[in-house]
Amino acid sequence: MQRLSELKSRIHNLTELGSVVGALRAVSAARVQQAHAVLESVRKYTAIIHEALGQACWGVPGPSSSTDVRQAASFVIVFGSEHGFVGAFNEHVLDIAMEQRKPGDELLIVGTRAQLVASERRIEAAWTCQSATQVGGVDDVALRLAERLALAGMRQRVDRVILIYTQLADASAALVVSEALLPFDVHPYRARPGTRPRAISNLSPPLLLDGLIDELLFAQLARAGTESFASEHAARLATMQAATDNVTAKLGELARLEHELRQEEITTELLDVVTGAEAISHPD
């Protein structure tokens, strides 16, 4: 039978594990709240750019057939997690990436843990970077991605960019989103011109449109990064909650077992006392 001292040691270790899990759960919950606060601002910022594009697209001729003879390039950008304890978070985004990826597409992966999962699957990435560990670092990641695309655009003709990230559908569910960043389609914006008074601009319409498209690209990258950041920590929060429930249930079982062992130990001691008394009273 398991000794009481060993059981106490297990309870102590499990209690410490519960404290660590609780701390991780609290951090994840705080990160989700921070991301939600930032998301509202990012969405408003993106909506303003959409509004500006609705005005800028008027008076700009439709896209003509490209005369760029440079070699074409296309990219699939994947936002994964930076750390573990997120379940199948990275597997899901990589599954969608492989479905969306066409021959010749370069894969750009954000997130150290996602890079590890891709390596285990023998999926080669053309470019990788760490994901943000604080919500304030999402803009830096988006800027690095934008710079990578801009650098490619200086050497090649970027025809296609697909963005894949995880978005919280509600408090308990998440879904993987796939968005086409390029090529940019002006027709939806022409169908809905801005509701605000037409802005005064000193730039030519094509130049203004190019600048707004660049701004929209960065906004979409920042929004995707923030959505992924919130989803990563929500997944970790769910994992830590499940771990907390398991630790609590196991501690309850061990507490009951400890009580039983204590009772058996007391009973054994009482039997020893009674047996000793009987031996003294009746030496024969």
Return the higher-pLDDT residue of 243 and 191.
Answer: 243
Higher pLDDT, 227 or 188: 227
Asked whether the predicted pLDDT for residue 242 surpasses 70, the reply is: yes
81 or 267, greater pLDDT:
81
pLDDT: which is higher, 75 or 10: 75
> Which of 1-5, 89-93, 233-237 has the least mean pLDDT?
1-5
Percent of all residues in the chain with a pLDDT value above 90, rounded to a whole number: 41
Average confidence score pLDDT of the chain: 85
Q: How confident is the model at residue 283 (pLDDT cuts 50, 70, 90)?
A: low
Q: Please say if the pLDDT value at position 119 is more than 90.
A: yes
Asked if residue 65 has pLDDT above 70, the reply is no
- Closest to 87 measured CA to CA, from 194, 238, 191: 238
Residue 189: predicted pLDDT:
72
Highest average pLDDT, of 38-52, 115-129, 167-181, 235-249, comes from 115-129
Domain boundaries, the chain: 25-58+68-238
DSSP 223-277: HHHHHHHHHHHHHHHHHHHHHHHHHHHHHHHHHHHHHHHHHHHHHHHHHHHHHHH
- Residue 86: the pLDDT is 93
The pLDDT value recorded for residue 167 is 92
Could you report the per-residue pLDDT of 10-61, keeping only the tens digit for each? Answer: 888 888 988 998 998 999 999 999 998 898 888 889 888 888 887 777 656 5
Helical H segments across the chain, by residue range = 4-56, 89-100, 112-120, 138-155, 187-190, 205-281
CATH topology of domain 25-58+68-238: Pyruvate Kinase; Chain: A, domain 1 (3.40.1380)
Residue 158 and residue 23 in contact, taking contact as beta carbons nearer than 8 Å: no
Write the pLDDT tens digit of every residue in 171-215: 667 899 999 988 887 777 765 555 556 666 677 777 888 888 889
Say if CB 74 and CB 105 are below 8 A apart. yes
Nearest CA among 170, 176, 218 for reference residue 81: 176
Q: What is the Cα–Cα distance from 252 to 9, expressed in whole angstroms?
A: 15
Residue 278: what pLDDT? 72
Predicted TM-score of the model (pTM): 0.83
**Which amino acid is residue 107, in one-letter code?**
L
Structure tokens at 146: 């934008």
pLDDT tier at 120, thresholds 50, 70, 90: very high
Query: 278 burial class (0-12, 13-18, 19+ CB within 10 angstroms)?
Result: exposed
Whether 139 and 219 have beta carbons less than 8 Å apart is answered as: no
Residues in the chain, overall count? 284
Q: How far is CA 29 from the centre of its chain?
A: 13
How far, rounded to the nearest angstrom, does the alpha carbon of residue 262 sit from its chain's CA centroid?
47
What integer pLDDT is reported at residue 7 of this predicted model? 80
Q: Which long-range contacts (CB under 8 A, 24 or more apart) does 117-124 make?
A: 117/80, 117/90, 117/91, 118/90, 118/94, 121/94, 123/94, 123/98
CA dist 96 to 113, 145, 176, 228, Å?
A: 17, 20, 8, 15
Between 61 and 122, whose confidence is greater?
122
User: Is residue 160 within a helix (H) or strand (E), and if so which, with residue range?
Assistant: strand 157-168
